[in-house]
Structure 1
Amino acid sequence: MTFAEQPHGSWPTPITSEVVVAAAVRLAELCVDGADVVWSEGRPAEGGRTQLVRRAPDGTTVELLPEDRNCRTAVHEYGGAGWWVRDGVTWFADWADQRLYRLAPGGEPEPITPEPATPRADRYADGDVAPDGATIVCVRERHTGSASTDVQNEIVRLAAHAPSEPEVLVSGPDFVAAPRLSPDGGTLAWLQWNHPSMPWDATQLVVRDLTTGEETVVAGGPGESVLEPRWEADGSLLFLSDRTDWWNVYRFTPGADIESVVRINAEIGVPSWVFGTSRYAVLGEGQVVFARSRAGYDALVVRGLDGSLTELDLPFSAIRTVRAAGPGTVAVVAGSPTSEPGVYTVDVVTSEYETLRAPRDLGIDPAFLSVPEPITFPSVDASGARRQAHALFYPPTHPERRGPQGELPPMLVEIHGGPTSAASTVLSLDVQYWTSRGFAVVDVDYGGSTGYGRAYREELLGEWGVIDVADCLAAAAYLAAAGRVDGARMCIRGGSAGGYTTLAALAREDTPFAAGADLYGVADLEALAADTHKFESRYLDRLVGPYPEAREVYVDRSPIHHVDLLSSPLIVLQGAEDAIVPPSQSEKIVDALRSRRVPVAYLLFEGEQHGFRRSENIRRALDAELSFYGQVLGFELPAEEGIEPVVVENL
């Protein structure tokens, strides 16, 4: 094969910003209702709204919501589990007013929760319909003022088919989640936790006899995170716990000891940033089917009745949702390094699968797609002691281009959010947008990331802004020393918590990064502690220290107080309606750079919250960042794409 030489970054590619957003959907949640499968689609081309799609066994599909409806809950601001189904009826939270609606087949949405005194003050999520179909239990988040302390999180019960005043069942804990009714409807299970813990730190699984009111704490507490309670037909209760370092499956049976169901040195659970995660399912025959993560790659595994574990032979590397879907079958949302997520059913005996909702047909030659390589590399902790960190490395990939002779590629160091999230191996055109142009990308799973056990996740406690930065610097140094990237043209980018790490890695005298991109990131930890929503209002207690007692640490680790060290060009991208990291955070860092005449570009997107959902804004953000790197690193943009240059001040 003959390659034409062309500067890295300027390679022509079919993966344009238009292709990134064209017919793009975000598939995450699905439910099974009888023989039908229902899933949600986040649609950037429709203003970022979420639509629900129901598929019958004969392959026919129907969109459930009218065009003016957006199924999305604002509970915890991150949402999730804003809808559920039973016997053809759909219940959903509408984004506009946050009330709960009932939608019968062929009907129109009808509100079943009262209109609150203040618009959007009552928010609903994570519902479960009683076995008799008459009532619903769900999470309600009630806002009585503007401060994070003016928020109550409760579990309520309400009529399923007519308007009613919700009855409060659980109140008192700072947070509640996953209310689940037993098969006979007589027992309620739920998760609860209190500040300053997050749900991946310390949660309790509680059950209550709804007749006697007797409560039992089944599992959890300090040092244990419990997730995803699931009732079995015999009245026993499955759940995930990280009591042995990994989120594995356990069973509670009244009157008996907790039983280990799946014990494996791999992660089954994921951090509960959103409600309704489902990483395992119980089949009617008694098998447990679960997704497990190891070294960044997922697999689907079946636990047989004899306790044996069988890994299915499937092409998927990332599995977001697992639901029981009939005898010997599960429905999943899954993807691979060369395929975006789709909806599938899988036969757990034969490993055969059927496509229910295919990934979009990209029409892209697979030779343009970079496949991630898991890497482990040396790093250090806060004391300088040696330890190991992890990442996924994407080499630049193109079937017809290569860089000039002897020239190594520039690299983008990608920092995920959370910070307890993780790099994903599913095909992301956001990544391929860069690699097909000649960039290398390394997606860093720094200490604190999920997928490597609780001990690795807890390496970040008290060390945010230290361990994450050290691992990003170590990944860059490791790849430069290996001769895989150009050490003089390494850039760093990240959103949310990743934006904070990006700024912290740039605001130092020894930064190796030639430029950076901050997407709605944190510049001032003190401001974040004082001005954020309830869910994360005490998060920094564990990541940094209690405030104001640890104020000196907050100041020392805030990039805004080290702008004198920030000399690398920076582009900042921000949503105007972000309630998690308000625009004031981004504007502080931009104003500081302007005053020091450091090259800076700033784009504020109206109508966007924490993360961009509208196709036109996703496109502009990507292209602006490419234009920024082109100006800073000195390469030309492909003329055929017609990219509008971003204004870089002080360049």
Structure 2
Amino acid sequence: MPHRTAPYGSWPSPVDARLVAAHDGRPEYLGAVGDELWWTAPRPEEGGRRALIRQRPGAEPESVLPPPWNVRNRVIEYGGRPWAGAPGTPGTEGPLVVFTHFPDQRLHLLRPDSAPDGDATGAAGPGARAEPVPLTPVSGAGGGLRWCDPVVRPAHGDVVCVLEEFTGDGPTDVRRTLASVPLDGSAADDRTRVRELTDDAHRFLTGARFSPDGRRVAWLAWDHPAMPWDGTLVRVADVTGDGAFTGARTVLGGPEESVAQVEWAADGRTLLAATDRTGWWNLHRVDPATGEAVNLCPREEEFGGGLWKIGLRWFAPLPGGLVAVLHGRGGQALGLLDPATGELADAPGPWTEWAPALAVADTRVVGIAAGAHSAYEIVELDTGSGHARVVAEEHRPAVDPAHLPHPQARTFTGPGGRDVHAHVYPPRHPDHQGPPGELPPYVIWVHGGPTSRVPMVLDLEIAYFTSRGIGVAEVDYGGSTGYGRAYRNRLRGQWGVVDVEDCAAVARALADEGTADPARLAIRGGSAGGWTSAASLTSPAGEVYACATITYPILDLKGWATGETHDFESQYLRSLVGDPEADADRYHDRSPVHHADRVDRPFLLLQGLDDVICPPVQCERFLERIAGRGVPHAYLAFEGEGHGFRRADTIVRAVEAELSLYAQTFGIDRDDVPTLPLKEDT
């Protein structure tokens, strides 16, 4: 079909905001229960809940819990693995599964194949399904009791979890331990029935990893002010006959060594750990008696990542001794590593990114994978045949793929000649093109974290803009994961400087090379990305951009460092910015809230009113400083939304508002989205 000529940004597109919302999120927390696969999946059209999905051999996936059951938790606020299961045993009907329910944060037990009239464990005869029953009590103190990363121990009649317990009303009035919860339901109304297996000497910890014989256990721990990508400890203990832990000791790690994951090797005697002691998260074999660590595959690649949620899994030992690993620079591929030889063979297939959610079922490795032109799918690798195939959540094009962008992995040059990695998504449409001599507008997307990265996978929100003629560039600025510890450490003490400079460098380079219109550049981001977007508008880099979209941001460093965020990140700024007292001037000078007078570009501010990580007070404080300055802006605040929008209606409103901002700022004529009212407050 001949191309029609129309201004960039004005092209028609079948990718509407409702479609974006319907495909928001991805499968998470994949696991094997015997020969079954289980995972959680997003349901934006059901209030943003997470459904628990089960797939039996040869059957289609099914949701085992109807609304309003929401399989998610709030441990460290970002949550962690919310479920675990054990196969059925003689005399029982099907598997036993425990999970956390988001509204009350309690741990519940379910036997999905049992009748509803069983005992407290749900064990009843065949027939109708049992309802979930609570295993843990509700606490009235602060954020209450929260649980994550469970491991079911049928032999001990318990489930071992990370317990997060609030001791007061403040966000940092909290303690964390590993705890044993009886499966008989006796702790549902009695906190004393919960047995703590570790002390609370360490501020943070991951769930238990038991040796194959159940006689030893390992876990990760760390303490303020470190974040898990700064420094963690591998802790090991012996397990007594009654399931208690004894003789806990540290065998690996330290303040400048980040261990992202630890597991027991198939031999049951040694540990496997993804540690960055070489400057890269490489997989090591660790002697639990001496702490001696041997690098199994020395490469300048990452075999781990940022532990933003408890229970992420970048590698998984197989029974025969091989190890399934995720590895790479930037994006991660699935490979099979032979620890004896160091040989690494990658799985075949079109997938360019694998989520840290590996599971093993006998000789099968199962993961969650996506590609530049496909959304996340459940993929199984048969290690015997080497064949990989999609077994669930198969990608089905929501629109003609001709409307989807073709991303480019690019490396730009930042200040001082440093590399800046980015993914560039040019505008693309099957039958539209821009007028001769016109360059497209571009939006710089800034990821959250900031110690995180962006995967180069199909994202319909990106396609929403590119199919209309607006380009997108996602920037892995200095400080991002995926490129080694030195790249991550660029942001130490330099947050609000390096990230701002690197994003501006990419924007300028796109304009200088003739890819983007220099007069129609924008920046957008959420959370830490919202910070960088706002900090850009209040810095000399602000002149690069015509407007900005700022979503649930950090805007006031001092406020965020003194009680306006959750415990997990409450001391994060010490590494990103400096000491709040000794570096008070730096906290003031970099905070957008103190430089609202420098903002002279239109902006859209989006905020969830239930956000406890970046609370609304930060936005309100910033808007007070903007008032009366004549800067066109809009503020949309959403009831029932927290840190990250999950509800379909919220996502639709936010996406359409962002497009309207660009249309008004860039002079684009569109009538398919509501006009966003921009206040000027003169």
Range of TM-score over shorter length: over 0.9
Name the count of aligned residue pairs. 643
Structure 1 position 650, deviation (Å): 2.0
Structure 1 position 25, deviation (Å): 4.8
Q: 1:156 maps to which residue?
A: 179
Counterpart selection for 2:482 from 414, 436, 451: 451
Code of the residue aligned with 1:514 in structure 2: it is A
C-alpha change, 1:113 and 1:603, in structure 2 (3 Å) is same
C-alpha change, 1:337 and 1:119, in structure 2 (3 Å) is same
- Percent identity over paired residues: 40
Any idea what SS the aligned residue of 1:501 has? helix
Any idea what SS the aligned residue of 2:197 has? strand
CA distance in 2, matches of 1:253, 1:524: 45
Q: 1:177 maps to which residue?
A: 206
Whether contact under 8 Å (1:469, 1:505) holds in the other structure is yes
Any idea what SS the aligned residue of 1:239 has? strand
Q: 2:679 maps to which residue?
A: 649
1:494 matched to 2:525? The reply is yes
Whether contact under 8 Å (1:90, 1:103) holds in the other structure is yes
Alignment of 1:293-372 (within 5 A): 293-294=328-329, 296-304=330-338, 305-372=340-407
Structure 1 position 119, deviation (Å): 7.7
Alignment of 1:189-208 (within 5 A): 189-208=218-237
Structure 1 position 321, deviation (Å): 3.6
Alignment of 1:1-150 (within 5 A): 2-22=2-22, 24-87=24-87, 88-105=95-112, 106-118=129-141, 120-130=143-153, 132=155, 134-150=157-173
Counterpart selection for 1:167 from 187, 192, 195: 195
Whether contact under 8 Å (2:266, 2:321) holds in the other structure is no
Whether contact under 8 Å (1:444, 1:475) holds in the other structure is yes
Structure 1 position 300, deviation (Å): 1.3
Q: Which moved more, 1:360-369 or 1:598-607?
A: 360-369
1:517 matched to 2:517? The reply is no
Whether contact under 8 Å (2:46, 2:67) holds in the other structure is no
CA distance in 2, matches of 1:262, 1:426: 27
Counterpart selection for 2:428 from 397, 419, 430: 397
Code of the residue aligned with 2:445 in structure 1: it is E
Whether contact under 8 Å (1:283, 1:324) holds in the other structure is no
CA distance in 1, matches of 2:33, 2:575: 40
1:406 matched to 2:437? The reply is yes
Q: 1:423 maps to which residue?
A: 454
Structure 1 position 133, deviation (Å): 5.4
1:479 matched to 2:510? The reply is yes
CA distance in 2, matches of 1:614, 1:539: 29
Any idea what SS the aligned residue of 1:114 has? coil
Structure 1 position 373, deviation (Å): 1.0
Q: 2:121 maps to which residue?
A: none
CA distance in 2, matches of 1:12, 1:636: 11
Whether contact under 8 Å (1:246, 1:453) holds in the other structure is yes
Any idea what SS the aligned residue of 1:128 has? strand
- Which runs of 5 or more structure 1 residues have no equivalent in the other structure? none
Counterpart selection for 1:435 from 439, 459, 466: 466
Whether contact under 8 Å (1:346, 1:354) holds in the other structure is yes
Code of the residue aligned with 1:16 in structure 2: it is D
Any idea what SS the aligned residue of 2:328 has? strand
Any idea what SS the aligned residue of 1:591 has? helix
Code of the residue aligned with 2:510 in structure 1: it is L
Any idea what SS the aligned residue of 2:279 has? coil
C-alpha change, 1:430 and 1:413, in structure 2 (3 Å) is same
Q: 1:224 maps to which residue?
A: 257
Whether contact under 8 Å (2:142, 2:169) holds in the other structure is no
Whether contact under 8 Å (2:316, 2:360) holds in the other structure is no
Structure 1 position 389, deviation (Å): 1.2
Q: Which moved more, 1:115-124 or 1:570-579?
A: 115-124
Q: 2:90 maps to which residue?
A: none
Whether contact under 8 Å (2:496, 2:535) holds in the other structure is yes
- C-alpha distance after superposition, 1:592-648 (max 9, x if no partner): 2232110101100110000100000001100011011111111112x4x4x221111
CA distance in 1, matches of 2:179, 2:24: 35
Whether contact under 8 Å (2:17, 2:464) holds in the other structure is yes
Structure 1 position 322, deviation (Å): 4.5
CA distance in 2, matches of 1:430, 1:650: 28
Q: 1:597 maps to which residue?
A: 630
Code of the residue aligned with 2:75 in structure 1: it is V
Structure 1 position 527, deviation (Å): 1.1
Any idea what SS the aligned residue of 2:502 has? helix
Whether contact under 8 Å (1:291, 1:322) holds in the other structure is no
Structure 1 position 268, deviation (Å): 1.7
- C-alpha distance after superposition, 1:55-114 (max 9, x if no partner): 011123331223221111111010020111111111111111111111112311111112
Counterpart selection for 1:577 from 600, 610, 616: 610
Whether contact under 8 Å (2:555, 2:618) holds in the other structure is yes
Any idea what SS the aligned residue of 1:528 has? helix
CA distance in 1, matches of 2:595, 2:648: 35
C-alpha change, 1:267 and 1:196, in structure 2 (3 Å) is same
Whether contact under 8 Å (1:99, 1:120) holds in the other structure is no
Any idea what SS the aligned residue of 2:499 has? helix
Any idea what SS the aligned residue of 1:487 has? coil
- C-alpha distance after superposition, 1:364-384 (max 9, x if no partner): 22211112211111112xxxx
CA distance in 1, matches of 2:381, 2:101: 32
Q: 1:378 maps to which residue?
A: 413
CA distance in 1, matches of 2:398, 2:644: 27
Code of the residue aligned with 2:545 in structure 1: it is F
Any idea what SS the aligned residue of 1:478 has? helix
Whether contact under 8 Å (1:102, 1:161) holds in the other structure is no
Structure 1 position 348, deviation (Å): 3.3
CA distance in 1, matches of 2:97, 2:361: 20
Code of the residue aligned with 1:495 in structure 2: it is G
Whether contact under 8 Å (2:604, 2:634) holds in the other structure is yes
Whether contact under 8 Å (1:176, 1:190) holds in the other structure is yes
Code of the residue aligned with 1:539 in structure 2: it is Y
Any idea what SS the aligned residue of 2:593 has? helix
- C-alpha distance after superposition, 1:551-585 (max 9, x if no partner): 11100000111111111110000001000001111
Whether contact under 8 Å (1:521, 1:586) holds in the other structure is yes
Whether contact under 8 Å (1:242, 1:454) holds in the other structure is yes
CA distance in 1, matches of 2:143, 2:584: 34
Any idea what SS the aligned residue of 1:457 has? helix
Q: 1:557 maps to which residue?
A: 590
Structure 1 position 333, deviation (Å): 0.6
TM-score, normalising length from structure 1? 0.96
- C-alpha distance after superposition, 1:151-204 (max 9, x if no partner): 111111222343332111221111111322222222221111111000110100
Q: Which moved more, 1:210-219 or 1:268-277?
A: 210-219
Whether contact under 8 Å (1:141, 1:152) holds in the other structure is yes
Q: 1:527 maps to which residue?
A: 559
Whether contact under 8 Å (2:629, 2:680) holds in the other structure is no
CA distance in 1, matches of 2:23, 2:498: 38
- C-alpha distance after superposition, 1:118-153 (max 9, x if no partner): 485000011122372522221111112221331111
Any idea what SS the aligned residue of 2:586 has? helix
Structure 1 position 42, deviation (Å): 1.6
C-alpha change, 1:352 and 1:428, in structure 2 (3 Å) is same
Structure 1 position 426, deviation (Å): 1.3
- C-alpha distance after superposition, 1:286-327 (max 9, x if no partner): 111111132x33211111353211122211111014534334
C-alpha change, 1:326 and 1:173, in structure 2 (3 Å) is closer
CA distance in 2, matches of 1:120, 1:588: 25
